[in-house]
Amino acid sequence: MDFQLNDEQRLFRDTLRDFVDSEIVPVARDWEHSGRYPTEIVEGMKQLGLFGLAVPEEYGGLAADTVSFALTFEEISRGWMGIAGILGSHSVSCFMLARHGTEEQKAKYLPDLATGKRRTGIALTEPGAGTDLQGIRTTARREGDEYVVNGTKMWITNARYADPLPVLVKTDPTAAPAHKGMSILLVEAGTPGFEVTADIGKLGYKGTESCEVVLTDVRVPASQLLGGVEGRGMQQALSSLETGRINIAARSVGIAQRAYDEALNYARERTAFGQAIGEFQAVQMRLAEIAVRLQAARLMTYWAASRMDDGVRMDTESGMAKIFASEQALACATDAMRIHGGYGYSTEFEVERLYRDAPLMSIGEGTNDVLRGVVAKSLLAGKAVIR
């Protein structure tokens, strides 16, 4: 069992780290507070080829191994978690298209998605359906060589930039069970009736937009049905969310790492009663706890990523990593804020943003409570063995 990165992964991480330290860290706090869109950072990620992480090499992508995929989201989130969201939704969608798309769909979209010339996301959630995706109400009625789509999607990352946007719909609303009547359509930007109506205000996770999308009599060619077969949408989406959970786990590690860095530096520099506060045992205990939580989350995330690279089904492992790492991100951000005392509550210090970004990690890509149920069922059914 080898917990060391190989030479290629270390070089990749170091390149990412240099980019984050020079292009993201210096501007993150000011841009996040002002609501400025990180256009220059996106361009930098294009130059590094990061939009092609999940795109096969034959279409111009990096075809990154899953550990390198995790490293990307860890390092970017260390600088600014919201930026990782731009790349995260895009990568989940690219993975889904590469795995399930027709040859024509892959040839049409993947080369431009790999370079960032095109960007994408994934439209699953609705006002009345989040965790329960079988409860979606967006429909796609077949009329000749087209589908007519009606419905509303919520919390859609990259909605204003996605082209195409994969949209989960019900092609057969009467199907039982409901997932057998669900499909994914690739809706291109500018299609009449497709409208991004509002940016949703958020506690954290800023830098990328999260939008409401309304589809009113949107006509989508039948050739845009992902995979060319109806009734596969739920399976297509869920298989891609395995990578999404690695993504969220790695983002959590990035948040925890930055919390550790900020807390350690502050404990060394801040003085009270004539000495650095790091000399006080109470602060030392919190620092040690942050370090332990961080490294445990990192190892679990890399373990789950390596399982995927081994080619095994790893929904249990990715779920476990996402649950654990996301809980540690919030704990580490909270302890870092406590070490900062009153300054931790100030918008002038980084830990305030970490504290606002961390809670989303326990919600995104499946809430932790739901994932605990998924993991437990897998264990009880003997599909996963922990020993």
* Contact of 57 with 110, CB cutoff 8 Å: no
> Which are the catalytic amino acids?
365
Please list, residue by residue across 334-366, b when 16 or more beta carbons sit within 10 angstroms of its beta carbon and e when fewer do. Answer: bbbbebbeeebeeeebbbbbbbbbbbbbbbbbb
Q: CA separation (Å) from 226 to 8, 109, 233, 337?
A: 34, 12, 8, 45
Cα distance between residue 27 and residue 269, in whole Å: 22
Which residues on adjacent β-strands are paired with residue 157? 210
- Pairing of β 271-272 and β 275-276: antiparallel
What is the separation, in whole angstroms, between the first and last Cα of the chain? Answer: 14
Helix and strand totals (H; E) in the chain = 11, 8
DSSP assignment of 29-56: HHHHHHT---HHHHHHHHHTTGGGTTS-
132 phi and psi angles, rounded to 5 deg: -90, 80
Strands (E), the chain: 139-143, 146-157, 165-170, 182-187, 194-199, 210-221, 271-272, 275-276
Token representation of residue 103: 């040859």
Cα distance between residue 359 and residue 23, in whole Å: 25
